[in-house]
């Protein structure tokens, strides 16, 4: 994605103090394992997604090879993987380079050749000396009437038989790391796995017939045949539940803390609200009014608000945010609005300006771009309260940003901020109310993992005047026809967004693709075409967007930067190249840029074939519906939870052991469980509470514990 959040790494977790000693072996670096040095350690770290032994232990097998079949040669079935006990009879070195070295072996019932290409003689003589008894495991084949095994997967001496003739787990790998190396590392890590106090609810645990934690981990890596890979296998289900419980408990703790600090009672529906309402040039939709009723109820009570305002692109969240902020202003407090990117922050400021001006509310914008004297001046205005509304990015988190009296934090997050970042802003005032706005229509299950039991207001009704967008799928081969069609539309005054594909998530490559398309279109349409991408300075970006908004440009070629909230009601055509490379949620967001004015709008999804069945189904979903929630559900179904909605980019929590398409029920249980825990033992002081602390540290949700501490 081209528009990156500012300072994505700012919120580094507080130092992990108080971690139970029992967990230490799991938090040692991979290099503490024998045979893992700095070099292969780096590769292994990349593979397992983290530097510590626990990361390795959570790298779960994706398949297995059953080597328990140990027949005599007379019984051995060609085509099957077998573990054979053999006597080395004869070495038959190759006579030419491209021929194999053969090692003829026997047992009491027959003979077989072990076949090696490019073999080192030393290696063979050392591992398979004449007369020795060896164990060879691999696929048995019949070749010209003779049994053979090409490059056995495993070779050993007789005493290795028990360790070879097992079910061998197969792991996802990366260049430079073999399955054997992963297994070896895991096998040397497993003995150090501590036995931990049980954090599951005793009754539930007994009903599930789950293994204890360390047993579950051992079983994970020694799958007992086929069903050992099933997400519903007791060992895997247990580990998945642990992860979901850690997620839900951390969210519940945070929420409990936030609730415990008394909120303030804000004056709702006061004079500033009235002035903004008078300046808004449209009637609020029913959904907007309802959301405001809910927000006012929260803000008017002494409980702290923690509310999610969920609404599709274009559903009109901004005005709801503005009207909510007026409650703070009418109480003499300040309000902050934080966006994930600079461009979004500026757009918010632009949308709010007329309303804030009309209400006589002073506001400032603070982003990472502000430096030196200019920044100092802004900080002063924030600290003195001269700035009543502060609009900004991550820059608002910085320690030297001190509010005179922050009352409401509105976070337009598009999933890019984490829970503790939200808290960080809320901690800049006393009893700050928080409203989180999100445009990604995520399914209920995901809302739960990202926000826990937050209160939710939904803008499920679009502002009037929005027409359905006619969505069509087209092969990329038809590009020329497409351009001819566009030429006619432009001549008739149409305005067109032209989105270029995401190439391997590389900004440089994205840009090349967009520039190439720009050149081609410019050759035909001259200065009616503009280009906007993430490398432009914000000011340059704004200029191009502005020209498009004014109608000085007919075609705006863009990388995905336009995803973030531009509003040009006159644009009626959206073209997305290589649509198959985008996530459904992203396509939905992009399409939401058109159909905002009075004219009929179109969205062309260009794909380059051949598409997989899944790819076809995904694009068909886009063609058939504009309901963001339906699209999100479909996305979950078609992609599995591995990369729902491009979770990696979106900042939604990702799970290592849980798979939301298989473990949705466990998630619901974990939510209820977390709620009960908080009811009974909010400080996690009892025996189960103590065990649960282990769990939170295990999943690095210990920030929740830090909050507990500072409570």
Comparing CB distances to Mg ion, the nearer of 105 and 343 is 343
Comparing CB distances to ligand ADP, the nearer of 515 and 627 is 627
Rounded to a whole number of angstroms, the minimum distance from the CB of residue 288 to ligand ADP is: 6
Rounded to a whole number of angstroms, the minimum distance from the CB of residue 350 to Mg ion is: 11
636 binds ligand ADP (CB under 6 A): no
Binder to ligand ADP among 282, 516, 550, 683 (CB under 6 A)? Answer: 282
Which of ligand ADP, Mg ion, none binds 534 (CB below 5-8 Å, type-dependent)? none
**Residues 463-492 as x/- pattern, contact with ligand ADP by CB under 6 A:** xx----------------------------
Q: Kindly give, in sequence order, each residue whose CB lies less than 8 Å from that of residue 81, ignoring residues fewer than 6 positions away.
A: 65, 66, 67, 69, 137, 138, 139, 140, 153
Q: What angle do CA 688, 694, 695 make, to 5 degrees?
A: 85
Rounded to a whole number of angstroms, the minimum distance from the CB of residue 285 to ligand ADP is: 4
Comparing CB distances to ligand ADP, the nearer of 288 and 572 is 288
Residues 250, 197: contact at Cβ < 8 Å? no
**In terms of Cα–Cα distance, which of 223, 295, 178 is closest to 64?**
223
* Backbone torsions φ then ψ of 310, nearest 5 degrees: -105, 125
Name the one range near Mg ion by CB under 5 A: 46-54, 141-149, 558-566, 675-683.
558-566
Would you state the structure tokens that stand for residue 516, as one six-digit string?
A: 């190439």
Which of ligand ADP, Mg ion, none binds 119 (CB below 5-8 Å, type-dependent)? none
**CA atoms of 647 and 628, how far apart (whole Å):** 16
341 binds ligand ADP (CB under 6 A): no
**CA atoms of 352 and 231, how far apart (whole Å):** 48
For ligand ADP (CB under 6 A), the number of binding residues is: 18
284 binds ligand ADP (CB under 6 A): yes
* Backbone torsions φ then ψ of 85, nearest 5 degrees: -105, 120
Name the one range near Mg ion by CB under 5 A: 73-81, 332-340, 561-569, 680-688.
561-569
Rounded to a whole number of angstroms, the minimum distance from the CB of residue 276 to ligand ADP is: 13
**Residues 298-327 as x/- pattern, contact with ligand ADP by CB under 6 A:** -------------x-xxxxxxx--------
Rounded to a whole number of angstroms, the minimum distance from the CB of residue 324 to Mg ion is: 14
DSSP string, 656-672: SS--TTT-HHHHHHHHH
Q: Is 247 helix (H, G, I), strand (E, B) or coil?
A: helix
Rounded to a whole number of angstroms, the minimum distance from the CB of residue 392 to ligand ADP is: 17
Q: Is 10 exposed, middle or buried (0-12, 13-18, 19+ CB in 10 A)?
A: middle
Rounded to a whole number of angstroms, the minimum distance from the CB of residue 341 to Mg ion is: 12
On the question of a cis peptide bond just before residue 610, with omega within 30 degrees of 0, the verdict is yes
Using CA atoms, how far residue 173 sits from 32, 180, 354, in Å, is 21, 10, 55
**In terms of Cα–Cα distance, which of 51, 21, 25 is closest to 192?**
25
Other beta carbons less than 10 A from residue 40's beta carbon: 17
**In terms of Cα–Cα distance, which of 333, 318, 317 is closest to 272?**
333
Residues 666, 244: contact at Cβ < 8 Å? yes
**CA atoms of 608 and 606, how far apart (whole Å):** 7
Name the one range near Mg ion by CB under 5 A: 52-60, 256-264, 385-393, 562-570.
562-570
Rounded to a whole number of angstroms, the minimum distance from the CB of residue 592 to ligand ADP is: 7
Comparing CB distances to ligand ADP, the nearer of 270 and 463 is 463
Which of Mg ion, ligand ADP, none binds 311 (CB below 5-8 Å, type-dependent)? ligand ADP
Would you state the structure tokens that stand for residue 21, as one six-digit string?
A: 């000693």
440 binds ligand ADP (CB under 6 A): no
Q: Which residue is nearest to ligand ADP (CB)?
A: 316
**CA atoms of 422 and 644, how far apart (whole Å):** 23
Q: Is 38 exposed, middle or buried (0-12, 13-18, 19+ CB in 10 A)?
A: exposed
Name the one range near ligand ADP by CB under 6 A: 71-79, 224-232, 277-285, 448-456.
277-285
Rounded to a whole number of angstroms, the minimum distance from the CB of residue 384 to ligand ADP is: 30
Which of ligand ADP, Mg ion, none binds 628 (CB below 5-8 Å, type-dependent)? none
Binder to ligand ADP among 439, 448, 564, 590 (CB under 6 A)? Answer: 439
Other beta carbons less than 10 A from residue 709's beta carbon: 12
Comparing CB distances to ligand ADP, the nearer of 316 and 340 is 316
Side-chain-facing half-sphere of 125: CA atoms under 13 Å:
4
Comparing CB distances to ligand ADP, the nearer of 72 and 350 is 350
Comparing CB distances to Mg ion, the nearer of 439 and 666 is 439
Binder to ligand ADP among 248, 288, 393, 471 (CB under 6 A)? Answer: 288
Comparing CB distances to ligand ADP, the nearer of 264 and 591 is 591
Q: Which of residues 534-573 bind ligand ADP (CB under 6 A)?
A: 565, 567
Residues belonging to the chain: 711
Rounded to a whole number of angstroms, the minimum distance from the CB of residue 656 to Mg ion is: 32
Q: Compute the CA torsion angle 680, 684, 686, 690 (nearest 10 deg).
A: 140
Rounded to a whole number of angstroms, the minimum distance from the CB of residue 409 to ligand ADP is: 17
Helix axis angle for 444-451 and 628-639, nearest 10°, is: 90
Output DSSP code: residue 179: H
Comparing CB distances to ligand ADP, the nearer of 19 and 348 is 348
Residues 437, 317: contact at Cβ < 8 Å? yes
Binder to Mg ion among 223, 314, 534, 565 (CB under 5 A)? Answer: 565
592 binds Mg ion (CB under 5 A): no
Q: Which residues pair with 455 in a beta bridge?
A: 307
Residues near ligand ADP, by CB under 6 A: 282-285, 288, 311, 313-319, 439, 463-464, 565, 567
**Rule CB under 5 A: which residues touch Mg ion?**
565
């Amino acid at each position: 994605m081209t528009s990156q959040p500012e300072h994505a790494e700012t919120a580094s977790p507080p130092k992990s103090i108080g971690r139970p000693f029992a967990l230490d072996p799991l938090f040692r670096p991979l290099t503490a394992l024998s045979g893992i040095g700095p070099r292969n350690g780096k590769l292994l770290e990349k593979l397992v997604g983290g530097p510590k032994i626990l990361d390795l232990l959570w790298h779960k097998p994706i398949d297995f090879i059953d080597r328990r079949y140990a027949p005599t040669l007379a019984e051995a079935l060609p085509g099957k993987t077998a573990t054979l006990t053999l006597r080395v009879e004869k070495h038959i070195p190759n006579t030419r380079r491209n021929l194999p070295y053969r090692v003829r072996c026997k047992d009491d019932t027959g003979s077989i050749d072990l076949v090696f290409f490019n073999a080192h003689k030393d290696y063979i003589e050392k591992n398979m000396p004449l007369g020795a008894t060896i164990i060879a495991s691999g696929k048995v084949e019949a070749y010209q009437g003779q049994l053979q095994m090409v490059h056995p997967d495993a070779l050993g001496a007789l005493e290795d038989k028990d360790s070879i003739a097992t079910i061998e787990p197969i792991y996802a790998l990366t260049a430079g790391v073999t399955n054997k190396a992963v297994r070896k590392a895991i096998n040397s890590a497993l003995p150090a796995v501590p036995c931990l106090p049980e954090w599951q609810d005793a009754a539930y645990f007994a009903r599930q017939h789950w293994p204890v934690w360390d047993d579950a981990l051992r079983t994970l890596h020694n799958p007992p045949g086929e069903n050992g890979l099933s997400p519903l296998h007791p060992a895997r289900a247990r580990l998945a539940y642990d992860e979901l419980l850690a997620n839900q408990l951390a969210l519940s703790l945070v929420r409990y803390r936030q609730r415990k600090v008394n909120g303030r009672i804000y004056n709702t529906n006061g004079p500033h609200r009235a002035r903004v309402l008078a300046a808004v040039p449209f009637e609020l939709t029913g959904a907007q009014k309802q959301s405001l009723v809910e927000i006012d109820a929260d803000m008017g009570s002494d409980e702290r608000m923690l509310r999610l305002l969920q609404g599709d692109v274009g559903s009109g969240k901004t005005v709801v945010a503005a009207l909510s902020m007026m409650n703070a202003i009418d109480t003499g407090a300040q309000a902050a609005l934080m966006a994930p990117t600079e461009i979004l922050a500026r757009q918010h400021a632009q949308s709010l300006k007329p309303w804030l001006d009309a209400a006589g509310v002073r506001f400032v914008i603070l982003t990472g771009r502000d430096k030196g004297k200019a920044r100092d001046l802004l900080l002063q205005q924030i600290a003195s309260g001269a700035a009543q509304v502060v609009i900004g990015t991550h820059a608002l988190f910085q320690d030297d940003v001190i509010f005179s009296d922050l009352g409401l934090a509105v976070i337009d997050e598009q999933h890019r901020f984490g829970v503790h970042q939200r808290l960080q802003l809320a901690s800049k005032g006393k009893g700050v109310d928080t409203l989180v706005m999100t445009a990604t229509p995520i399914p209920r299950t995901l809302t739960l993992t990202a926000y826990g039991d937050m209160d939710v207001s939904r803008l499920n009704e679009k502002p009037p005047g929005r027409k359905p967008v006619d969505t069509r799928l087209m092969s990329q081969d038809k590009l020329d026809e497409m351009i001819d069609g566009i030429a006619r539309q432009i001549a008739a005054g149409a305005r067109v967004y032209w989105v270029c594909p995401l190439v391997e998530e590389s900004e440089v490559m994205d840009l090349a693709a967009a520039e190439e398309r720009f050149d081609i279109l410019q050759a035909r349409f001259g200065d009616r075409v503009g280009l906007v991408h993430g490398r432009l300075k914000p000011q340059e970006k704004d200029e191009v967007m502005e020209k498009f908004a004014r109608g000085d440009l007919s075609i705006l070629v863009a990388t995905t930067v336009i995803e973030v909230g531009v509003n040009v009601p006159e644009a009626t055509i959206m073209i997305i190249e290589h649509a198959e490379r985008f996530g459904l949620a992203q396509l939905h967001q992009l399409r939401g840029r058109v159909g905002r004015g009075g004219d009929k709008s179109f969205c062309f999804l260009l794909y380059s074939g051949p598409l997989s069945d899944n790819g076809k189904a995904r694009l068909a979903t886009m063609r058939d519906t504009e309901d963001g929630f339906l699209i999100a559900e479909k996305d979950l179904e078609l992609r599995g939870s591995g990369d729902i909605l491009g979770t990696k980019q979106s900042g939604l929590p990702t799970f290592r052991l849980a798979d939301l398409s298989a473990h949705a029920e466990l998630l619901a249980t974990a939510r209820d469980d977390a709620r009960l825990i908080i009811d009974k033992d909010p400080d996690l002081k009892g025996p189960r509470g103590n065990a649960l602390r282990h769990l939170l540290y295990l999943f690095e949700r210990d920030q929740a514990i830090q909050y507990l501490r500072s409570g």
